Amino acid sequence: MTIRPDQLNDPAVRAFVKALNSGDRDAFLAVLTPDATMSDDGSDRDLVEWTDKEIFSSRGQMEVESQSADGRDLVARYRNETWGEMRTKWKFTVEGEKIARFDTGQA
């Protein structure tokens, strides 16, 4: 079962997933705080470099399978042209209406 992006509980996470899936780099960056950070499989990464490689240049797509009650923890099938498809977990830290940090990795 897949949860449509417009059904995600947290507005910032909803905007993040919609921007990611549409390949809209400007909308994606707009939902992040200016000093946003992220990690992949427990290692901090350069957010701009990582998103360019893992999302935008490789046509990343996220199909959400489940979300926490507050909508800030997701399990999703993530795929891109580099790695194919894998089951991933995403944890978001939201400040105001923007994402200050996200942590992702294999589920």
Closest CA to 60 of 90, 100, 101, 99: 90
Q: Which amino acid is at 69?
A: A
What's this model's pTM, rounded to 2 decimal places?
0.96
d(CA 51, CA 58): 9
pLDDT tens by residue, 50-75: 999 999 999 999 999 999 999 999 99
Measured between alpha carbons, how far is 106 from 41 in angstroms, rounded to an integer? 7
* pLDDT value, residue 1: 81
Average pLDDT over residues 87-100: 97
DSSP, collapsed to helix, strand or coil, labels residue 97 as: coil
Q: Which residues, other chains included, contact 3 with Cβ-Cβ below 8 Å and sequence gap of 6+?
A: 64, 65, 66, 67
Question: Which one-letter amino acid corresponds to residue 92?
Answer: F
- Give pLDDT, residue 33: 98
Q: What is the mean pLDDT of residues 71-96?
A: 97
**What's the sign of the alpha-carbon dihedral 70, 4, 51, 48?**
negative
* Confidence bin at 37 (pLDDT 50/70/90): very high
Cα angle at 101 between 52 and 106, to 5 degrees? Answer: 70
